[in-house]
Amino acid sequence: MQIFKTVESLNGYLDGCRERAQSVALVPTMGGLHEGHLSLINKAKECADVVVVSLFVNPTQFASGEDFEQYPQSPGEDIENLQQRQVDALFMPQIADIYPQSQESDYDVGELGQILCGISRPTHFKGVAQVVARFFDIVKPDIAVFGEKDYQQLTIIRELAKRKYNTIKIASVPIIREPDGLAMSTRNNYLSVKERARAPLFYKALREAREELESGADIALAAKRALAALSKSFVVDYVEILDANTLTEITHKSEEIIIISAVRLGGARLIDNIVFRRANV
Domain final position from 143, 173, 203:
173
Pair 10, 146 in one domain: yes
Q: Pick the last residue of a domain from 145, 173, 201.
A: 173
By DSSP bridging, strand 256-265 and strand 268-277 are antiparallel
12 domain-assigned = yes
* Sheet with 169-173, edge to edge strand ranges: 2-4, 89-91, 50-55, 24-29, 143-147, 169-173
Indicate if 147 and 202 belong to the same structural domain. Answer: no
Judge if 228 and 100 occupy the same domain: no
Answer yes or no: is 278 within a domain: no
**How many Cβ atoms from other residues are within 10 Å of residue 273's Cβ?**
23
Q: Is residue 241 part of a domain?
A: yes
Do 120 and 42 belong together in one domain?
yes
Residue 106 domain flag? yes
Among 105, 135, 115, 160, which Cα is nearest to 27's? 135
Question: Do the domain assignments include residue 169?
Answer: yes
- Judge if 114 and 137 occupy the same domain: yes
CATH of residue 266's domain is 3.30.1300.10
Sign of CA dihedral 265, 268, 269, 272: negative
Q: Is residue 117 part of a domain?
A: yes
Residues 227 and 164 in one domain: no
Q: What is the pLDDT of residue 106?
A: 59
Query: Could you give the number of structural domains in the chain?
Result: 2
The residue among 112, 141, 173 that closes a domain is 173
Length of the chain as a residue count: 281
Catalytic-role residue among 34, 37, 124, 252 = 37
The mean pLDDT of 138-152, rounded to a whole number, is 98
pLDDT of residue 281: 44
Active-site annotation holds for 37 = yes
Query: Beta-carbon neighbour count of residue 161 at 10 Å?
Result: 18
Cα(253)–Cα(244) distance, rounded to whole angstroms? 12
**223 is in which domain, residue-wise?**
186-273
Q: How far apart are the first and last CA of the chain?
A: 47
The answer to whether position 179 is within a domain reads no
Outline where DSSP puts E strands in 222-267.
235-243, 256-265
226 and 90 housed in the same domain:
no
Residues 77 and 110 in one domain: yes
Rounded to whole angstroms, the Cα distance separating 198 from 220 reads 26
122 and 198 fall within a common domain: no
- Residue ranges of the alpha helices (H) in the chain? 7-19, 35-47, 75-84, 95-98, 117-120, 124-139, 151-164, 193-198, 201-214, 219-231
Report yes or no: 141 and 168 within 8 Å, Cβ to Cβ: yes
Question: Of 110, 141, 143, which is closest to residue 126 (Cα–Cα)?
Answer: 110
Q: How many CA atoms lie within 13 Å of 149's alpha carbon, on the beta-carbon side?
A: 21
What pLDDT shows up at residue 107? 73
How sure is the predictor about 162, in pLDDT bands with cuts at 50, 70 and 90?
very high
The mean pLDDT value of the chain amounts to 95
153: CB partners within 8 A, 6+ apart: 125, 128, 146
Distance CA 81, CA 72 (A): 16
CATH of the domain at 142: 3.40.50.620
Residues 164 and 48 in one domain: yes
Query: What value does the mean pLDDT take over residues 153-175?
Result: 97
Both 154 and 198 in one domain: the answer is no
Per-residue pLDDT of 13-43, as tens digits, reads: 999 999 999 999 999 999 999 999 999 999 9
Is 150 found in the same domain as 263?
no
Q: What is the pLDDT of residue 103?
A: 61
Rounded to whole angstroms, what are the CA distances from 68 to 59, 146, 203? 7, 21, 26
* Percent of the chain scoring above 70 in pLDDT: 98
Confidence of residue 168 (pLDDT cuts 50, 70, 90): very high
d(CA 100, CA 108): 19
CA-nearest of 163, 145, 164 to 154 is: 145
Is residue 161 one of the residues assigned to a domain? yes
195-225 pLDDT per residue, tens: 999 999 999 999 999 999 999 999 999 999 9
Q: Are strands 268-277 and 24-29 parallel, antiparallel or unpaired?
A: unpaired
Whole-prediction pTM value? Answer: 0.94
